[in-house]
Amino acid sequence: MLQHPKVKGPNIGLLGFSKGGDLCLSMASFLKGITATVVINACVANTVAPLHYKDIIIPVLGSELQKQKNTDLGLLNLVDIWNDPLEEHNQQSLIPLEKAHGPFLFIVGMDDHNWKSELYAHLASKRLQEYGKKKPQIICYPETGHFIDPPYFPLSRASVHSVLGEVVFYGGEPRAHSKAQEDAWQQIQIFFQKYLNGKKSVQHSKI
């Protein structure tokens, strides 16, 4: 990343959403030079596919598809299918956040119907503090769904799941979700400016 012409350096920040979020948690845990990490609606355990890094393999957090539900419109609701990462036989899938050197910001949509994102953010916070690490920043947005895009992107309440190939419900109420996207955009900039550039304040984007 530092060799990329678009990367200013010397610090690197990561921003990940959903599966990309747990990949960023893994990168921050294993790679050097990660100074700040923002995670939007992600799991605290490894998901979808086993993670391989050198001689380390983090298995997938299992799921039980029979626990999926259907909305009134016939869309899949997956929030309850994921196994509890704290159960003993699932703990190997937990990402070792305590190995990370930089701070975390968790952005949470409280109406996320893909992950139990608020629960996972607080599990991450508890784990970090148990290992003597700094408590992460967690920002929760009521009535906000899974896809917290940059401001003025339309709310995506449902889409075809890239793995299942079926239409999945992601939650969110239009007005609250739109406001959350605006605020989250600013909060992410403030976080990165503070930990990448050492600035306590940031000029708000006009977007």
- Name the residues annotated as catalytic: 18, 112, 146
DSSP SS3 for 179: helix
DSSP string for residues in 73-127: TS-EE-TT-B--TTSGGGGGGB--GGG--S-EEEEEETT-SSS-HHHHHHHHHHH
d(CA 104, CA 182) in angstroms, rounded, equals 20
The DSSP element (H or E) to which 53 belongs, if any, is: strand 51-53
Q: How is residue 173 written in tokens?
A: 């109420």
d(CA 90, CA 67) in angstroms, rounded, equals 17
Would you report the helix, strand and coil content of the chain in percent, each value rounded to 5? 30, 20, 50
102 closest CA partner among 154, 56, 39, 184: 39
* Measured CA distances, 10 to 5, 17, 99, 156, 197 (Å): 12, 24, 20, 36, 10
